[in-house]
A and B are shown apart, each in its own frame.
Chain A
Amino acid sequence: MAAHRQRVWSSMRSTRSIYLTYLCLGLVALPAWEVTSRSSNNIRLLLSSPLRILEFIQGNYLDLLNATWVTLVEALLGLLLATAGSFTLIILGFFVTGLLRFLLPAMIASQVIPLIVLAPFFVVAFGIGLSSKVAMAAVLCFFPIFVGLAQGYRLIPQNIHDLLDVYHAPKALRVLRAYLPLSLPSGMAGLKVSATLSVIGAIVAEFTGSEVGLGRNLFLSTIRLQPELMMASLVGSAILGAVMYTGVHLLERRVGFWYLPTRVE
C-alpha cells in the first residue's frame, strides 16, 4: 500500500514537473516573440505579436466565436456521419458473409489517396454552404474508423469463434456480444484519429469556398496580409481539435473501461 502510494505520488510529481516546464517555456517564449516582433516589421507582418493578437481577439471575439462555432458544427456533423456510416457498414459486414473480405482491400487502398483533394469537388457538388464541409469531414473520417473496426474484428482469436460455434450462437448475438465489443478497441483508435481529421476536413473545405468559418478566416488572412486574423484562427482551430479529441477520449473512458489501462489516481 505504501509502495503504491509512493508510486502514485512520484508519477503525479513527474507529470506536474512536465507541465511546469511547459509553463516556463511559454513564459520565456511569449515575451521573446513580443520583443522580436516589435523590433522587426517583417516578423510583425509574418507572426504578429502576442499583445496584438490578444487585442484583435478582444475586438472581434463575436465574429471569431461564430467562425469557430460554424467550423465545429461542420466537423462534428462530419464525424458523427462517418461514425454512423462506418458502424453501419461493419455491422452489415458481420452479417453478410464475404462482404468484409470484398471491401477491405478497397478501403485500405483508399488510404493511400490523399482524400482531402476531394474538397473542391464537394464544394462544386454541394455548394459553399454547410453540407460540402460536412461531406468532406465525413469522407476523411470514415476510413480510419471503418478500417479500425475491421482490424479489430480480424484480430478476434479463433477460440472465441469456436466458443460461439460450440453454443450455436445466433448471428445477432455474435455481433452484439462478441464481434462489436471486440472490434471496439481498434475502432476507437480510428475514431481518435478521425476526431482531428474532422477539423482538418472542415477547414480545408472552407478554404475552397465558404461564407464563414475558421478556414475562410485563414484564407482571407493570407490574401489580406492580416497576421492577427491568421493567428486568432489558429488558436481557434487548436481549441477545436482539442475539443474533438477530448470528446472522443471521454467517450472512450465510458465504453472502453474493459481494455483501457487502469488509471493511477
Chain B
Amino acid sequence: MDGDSAVGKPSLADAATRNENRRVAVGAVIRSFAFGARPVIRNLHLSVEEGESVALLGPSGCGKSTLIKLLAGLLPRNAREALDGEVVLFNVPPSAYRATGKLAAMFQDPTLLPHLSVEENIGIPLEFLGRGVSEEVSALLRLVGLEEFRHYLPRDLSGGMRTRTALARGFVSRPDLLFMDEPFTGLDLGWKESLYGSLQELRNRYGTTVVMVTHDLEEAVYNSNRILVLAADGTLMDEVRIPGTFPREYRFGETVVRHTAILGRLAELLGSPPATGLV
C-alpha cells in the first residue's frame, strides 16, 4: 500500500520514538487544512499512543468534528486534497487502515439503521467486514443492558438506549481505534453516567484507543487520560494530562471535586478569547 510512504517521515518518526513500547495510533501533522473558504485547522501536530483515551476539546465551530472526520478519512476526496500535511493511523493512511477493519466510529447521533433490530444493528459492522455475526453481539447486548430489547426497532427505544446500541456497535468489531464525535450530547445525566461506565469497561475489555470529540469539560476529564484543547481558530492551544486509571474508581459526579484545578484551567482556556498565544 501507499501506507509505507508514510513511515519514515521525520515528524511522525519522532513521535513514534517518544515511547518505544507503544505504537502511535493516530499521528497527524496538519500544516493547514482549508475546508471551504477559510482555513479550519492550522499548525496542528497530534499524536495519540496506542491504548490512550484522548479527548479533543474546543469551542463550537473550531473544527473539532471536521478534524475527527479528517483523522478517520471520512471527508470527501476534494476536501482531503485540500490538506497540507499528513495523517496516519497505525502507520498507514486512514483509508488503508479502514480496510483492515480495526477502525470504529460513533457519531453525533446514534446513526442506527431504522429497519434493523437492536441486535442486528449491533452486529452490522461484523456483516460489513465479512466476519459473520459472533457471540460478541450477545455479550455486548448484556454489557450495555439491552438484552430484553434485542428485537426492538430503534424507533421504539429511548434516546439513551439508542446511544447504548451505538456504543455496543462501536465495540463489536473489537476495534483498535475508536473515534467518537460528541456521541453523548443531549442525554440526561443518569444516562451519561451509565454510558461512561460502559465505555470505560468496553475500552479496557478490547484495549481500544479512543479519540473523543466533546465540548463538555467534565465528560472529557472523566473519560480520558489526555485532553487536547483546540482554539477557535483551529490551532492546538494546550494539552492537559488527567491522572488515574479506567474504569474510574469514583463516580462521574465527583469529577468536579477531584479535578477542580484541571477543570478550572480548561474553563479558563476555553473561555479566553481565541489566538492569544497560549501555546
A residues contacting B by CB (< 8 A) are 157, 159-160, 162-170, 173, 177-178, 181-182, 184, 258-259
A160-B111 contact in complex given A166-B74, A166-B104, C-beta closer than 8 Å: yes
Q: Across the interface, which residues of A come within 8 angstroms of B124, CB to CB?
A: 167, 177
Total residues of chain B contacting the partner, CB 8 A:
27
Whether B72 is near chain A, meaning CB under 8 Å from some CB there, is yes
How far is A164 from B104 in the complex, measured between Cα atoms in Å?
A: 10
Q: Are A178 and B98 in contact (CB under 8 A)?
A: no
Q: Which of A159, A160, A184, A258 contacts B155, CB < 8 Å?
A: A258
How far is A178 from B101 in the complex, measured between Cα atoms in Å?
A: 19
How many residue pairs between the two chains, A and B, have CB atoms under 8 Å in the bound complex?
62
Closest residue of chain B to A176 (Cβ to Cβ) is B127
How far is A180 from B145 in the complex, measured between Cα atoms in Å?
A: 31
Q: Are A162 and B107 in contact (CB under 8 A)?
A: yes
How far is A178 from B115 in the complex, measured between Cα atoms in Å?
A: 9
Q: Across the interface, which residues of B come within 8 angstroms of A258, CB to CB?
A: 114-115, 153, 155
Q: Are B111 and A165 in contact (CB under 8 A)?
A: no
Q: Are A181 and B109 in contact (CB under 8 A)?
A: no
Whether B67 is near chain A, meaning CB under 8 Å from some CB there, is no
Whether B113 is near chain A, meaning CB under 8 Å from some CB there, is yes
Q: Across the interface, which residues of B come within 8 angstroms of A182, CB to CB?
A: 113-115
How far is A157 from B107 in the complex, measured between Cα atoms in Å?
A: 12
Q: Across the interface, which residues of A come within 8 angstroms of B115, CB to CB?
A: 181-182, 184, 258-259
Consensus secondary structure, chain A interface = helix
B residues contacting A by CB (< 8 A) are 69, 72-74, 98-99, 101, 103-105, 107-109, 111, 113-116, 124-125, 127-130, 153, 155, 173
* Shortest Cβ gap from A157 to chain B (Å): 7
Known: A162-B107, A177-B113. 18 other contacts (CB 8 A): A157-B111, A162-B69, A162-B105, A163-B105, A163-B107, A165-B73, A166-B72, A166-B103, A166-B105, A167-B98, A167-B101, A167-B129, A168-B99, A169-B128, A177-B116, A182-B114, A182-B115, A184-B115
Closest residue of chain A to B97 (Cβ to Cβ) is A168
**14 examples of A-B residue contacts, CB within 8 angstroms:** A159-B111, A160-B113, A162-B74, A162-B107, A163-B111, A164-B128, A165-B98, A167-B98, A167-B104, A167-B124, A168-B99, A168-B128, A173-B128, A258-B155
Q: Are B173 and A165 in contact (CB under 8 A)?
A: no
* Shortest Cβ gap from B229 to chain A (Å): 25
Q: Which of A160, A164, A168, A184 contacts B101, CB < 8 Å?
A: A168
Q: Which 10 A-B pairs have the closest CB atoms?
A: A169-B128, A167-B128, A159-B111, A258-B115, A166-B105, A159-B107, A181-B115, A167-B125, A162-B74, A168-B98
Q: Across the interface, which residues of B come within 8 angstroms of A178, CB to CB?
A: 113
How far is A66 from B49 in the complex, measured between Cα atoms in Å?
A: 77
* Shortest Cβ gap from B140 to chain A (Å): 16
Q: Across the interface, which residues of A come within 8 angstroms of B101, CB to CB?
A: 167-168
Q: Are B113 and A159 in contact (CB under 8 A)?
A: no
Q: Across the interface, which residues of A come within 8 angstroms of B125, CB to CB?
A: 167
A259-B74 contact in complex given A168-B101, A168-B128, C-beta closer than 8 Å: no
Q: Across the interface, which residues of A come within 8 angstroms of B72, CB to CB?
A: 162, 166
Closest residue of chain B to A181 (Cβ to Cβ) is B115
Closest residue of chain B to A255 (Cβ to Cβ) is B115
How far is A165 from B73 in the complex, measured between Cα atoms in Å?
A: 9
* Shortest Cβ gap from B174 to chain A (Å): 13
Q: Are A181 and B113 in contact (CB under 8 A)?
A: yes
Q: Across the interface, which residues of B come within 8 angstroms of A173, CB to CB?
A: 127-128
Q: Are B114 and A259 in contact (CB under 8 A)?
A: yes
* Shortest Cβ gap from A162 to chain B (Å): 5
How far is A147 from B124 in the complex, measured between Cα atoms in Å?
A: 28
Q: Across the interface, which residues of B come within 8 angstroms of A168, CB to CB?
A: 98-99, 101, 128-129
* Shortest Cβ gap from B208 to chain A (Å): 14
How far is A166 from B105 in the complex, measured between Cα atoms in Å?
A: 7
How far is A177 from B127 in the complex, measured between Cα atoms in Å?
A: 10
Closest residue of chain B to A157 (Cβ to Cβ) is B111
How far is A166 from B101 in the complex, measured between Cα atoms in Å?
A: 8
Q: Across the interface, which residues of A come within 8 angstroms of B69, CB to CB?
A: 162
How far is A120 from B108 in the complex, measured between Cα atoms in Å?
A: 55
Q: Across the interface, which residues of A come within 8 angstroms of B155, CB to CB?
A: 258
Q: Across the interface, which residues of A come within 8 angstroms of B111, CB to CB?
A: 157, 159-160, 162-163
Q: Across the interface, which residues of B come within 8 angstroms of A181, CB to CB?
A: 113, 115
Q: Across the interface, which residues of B come within 8 angstroms of A159, CB to CB?
A: 107-109, 111
How far is A259 from B109 in the complex, measured between Cα atoms in Å?
A: 18
* Shortest Cβ gap from B105 to chain A (Å): 4
How far is A45 from B74 in the complex, measured between Cα atoms in Å?
A: 71
How far is A164 from B108 in the complex, measured between Cα atoms in Å?
A: 15
Q: Are B113 and A167 in contact (CB under 8 A)?
A: no
How far is A109 from B260 in the complex, measured between Cα atoms in Å?
A: 63
* Shortest Cβ gap from B86 to chain A (Å): 20
